[in-house]
Structure formats: C-alpha cells, structure tokens
Amino acid sequence: MPTWTKRHIVDGFVRLLHMHSYPSITVEMILAQTDVSKTTFYRYFRNKSDVMDAYFQQVYDAAILDEGCRDLEDLFAAILEKARSNPEQYRMFETTGYNSYLQFIYRYTFSMGSRIIETAWKRSLSEAESLHVAFFCAGGSHIVEEFCRGQNYRGLSGRQAAAEIAQMMGDEYHVAIDDAVRAQLREHIRRRDA
C-alpha cells in the first residue's frame, strides 16, 4: 500500500504539471488532485520538492529495472527518450538551488550510477573513479534538461545521444546491467522504499 500511495501522489503531481507551472503548484493542490489527506501526504513526503524528486526516481528506477536495459548506454537512452517525450519535466527545471530538479537528477544519478558500477565491479569506487562518475552525472543532468526543453540536440534521438555519451566513457565503465546486478538494484530500491 505505501508504494501505491506514493505513486498515486506522484501521478497527481505530474497531472498538475500539465496544467500549472511548478512554482504555482502547492501541497494543497496535490492533496485535492489525489484526494489524500494531509497526514497521508506528510507520511511520505516533506514537501512538493520531495514529490518532484520521487517522480525522477520512478523514471530512473523503471529504466534500470527494465529487462531491455543491458548497460549504461541503454540506461542513458531510456532517460533521454523519457525526457524528450515528457515535456512536463520542463516545468520542474524552473526550480533553483540545492533542492532544484537539476541538482536532484545529479545527486540521484551519481548515487545510483556509482551503485551500478560498484555492483558490477564487486568493489567500491576509488576516489578518482568516483570523480569520473560525478563528472558524467553532472554533465548528464544538464543534457537531460536540454533534451527535455528541446533546446539542443534536436537532430539526435535519445539512442544516438546515448551512443555518443557512451563513446566518451572509458571502456572500464561499460558495465553490463545483467540479471545479477538488476536483482541487487531491485533489492536496494525495495529496501529504500519500504
């Protein structure tokens, strides 16, 4: 039930994004859209920024857990294609500062990207390797924004852009997201969401 309730709240928030700018959306509007009580909302989220973050988590986690996601290139393609096909994300980029959507994308992709690589390598990242992942995630968060807004790279599909990004990565980072890695990630997500 908690997973369903959280998703229901996130889905209501996304419906509101189709009609309103992010800054104009209030918790009260989310409550009215989802028909959940204030107590229920605050059981799962501190504020609307948490709901915004949960939306991207759902997108990213669904891409990772998809059986068609075999490696990081497939993951990049899925995220970029989702950004381009969901213009409501554009409204979330109106946020600024530490709790901005852009910063959340960076933090979450860095966290999960590091976890994917460490799981595949069966060891922790070195400081230099962590720097490499952080660099790609910081740039990647801006690419997601630009893909979503349609500002740049209009001639590239998500798959083409993902292939270009993967070419820039060192060969050692071309890790497989196989059934064993996916099972560990699924368990991590399950524990996090429990």
Q: pLDDT of 41-62, one tens digit each?
A: 999 999 999 999 999 998 899 9
For residue 1, is pLDDT > 60? no
As a whole number, the mean pLDDT across the chain is: 92
Q: Return the structure tokens found at 138.
A: 């910081």
- Tens of pLDDT, residue by residue over 125-184, are 999 999 999 999 999 999 999 998 888 898 999 999 999 999 998 889 999 999 999 999
- Tens of pLDDT, residue by residue over 104-113, are 999 999 999 9
Confidence of residue 187 (pLDDT cuts 50, 70, 90): very high
Give the pTM.
0.87
Ordered by start, the domain boundaries in the chain are 49-193
93-104 burial code (b ≥16 CB/10 A, e <16): bebeeeebbbbb
Percent of the chain with pLDDT over 70: 99
Confidence of residue 192 (pLDDT cuts 50, 70, 90): confident
For the segment 3-11, the average pLDDT, to the nearest whole number, is: 90
**Domain topology for 49-193:** Tetracycline Repressor; domain 2 (1.10.357)
